[in-house]
């Protein structure tokens, strides 16, 4: 199975602007931002889609939400959206689960 672009970023094969990382996730700036702040929160564990999340992964999903909170506080966001696209018909392009954190939408 071919490595996803996110795995290649985590392995430092592809450069990315990293905002945050720990042993469970990496957070990078989206290369085609849809808002003033557009971050991707990516778990290090390669789960293809939200439909593939197992019960054992639930602490990881909770951690992703905690990281979103920490980033919102760090960046002093007044509000934000946390989005997961699931499956091709749901707009998912990279089949390694990730969440978009967006804030400061263009008017």
Which residues are CB-contacts of 91 (< 8 A; sequence separation ≥ 6)?
85
Q: Which residues are CB-neighbours of 96 under 8 A, at least 6 positions away?
A: 4, 5, 6, 7, 42, 46, 47, 48
Q: What is the pLDDT of residues 15-48, one digit of tens each?
A: 999 999 999 999 999 999 999 999 999 999 999 9
CATH 3.30.428.10 for the 5-103 domain, yes or no: yes
Catalytic position from the list 29, 38, 65, 98: 98
CA distance 17 to 45: 20
**Dihedral sign from CA coordinates of 43, 44, 45, 46:** positive
Q: Is the pLDDT of residue 107 over 70?
A: no
Q: What is the pTM of this model?
A: 0.94
66 token code pair: 């905690």
Active site residue 96: no
């Amino acid at each position: 199975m071919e490595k996803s672009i996110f795995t290649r970023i985590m392995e430092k094969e592809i450069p990315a602007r990293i905002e945050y990382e720990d042993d469970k996730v990496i957070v990078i700036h989206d290369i085609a931002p849809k808002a003033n702040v557009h971050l991707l929160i990516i778990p290090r564990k390669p789960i293809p889609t939200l439909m593939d999340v197992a019960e054992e992964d639930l602490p990881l999903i909770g951690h992703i939400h905690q990281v979103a909170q920490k980033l919102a506080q760090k960046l002093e966001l007044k509000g934000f959206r946390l989005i997961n696209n699931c499956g091709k018909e749901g707009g998912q392009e990279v089949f390694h689960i990730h969440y978009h954190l967006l804030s400061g939408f263009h008017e």
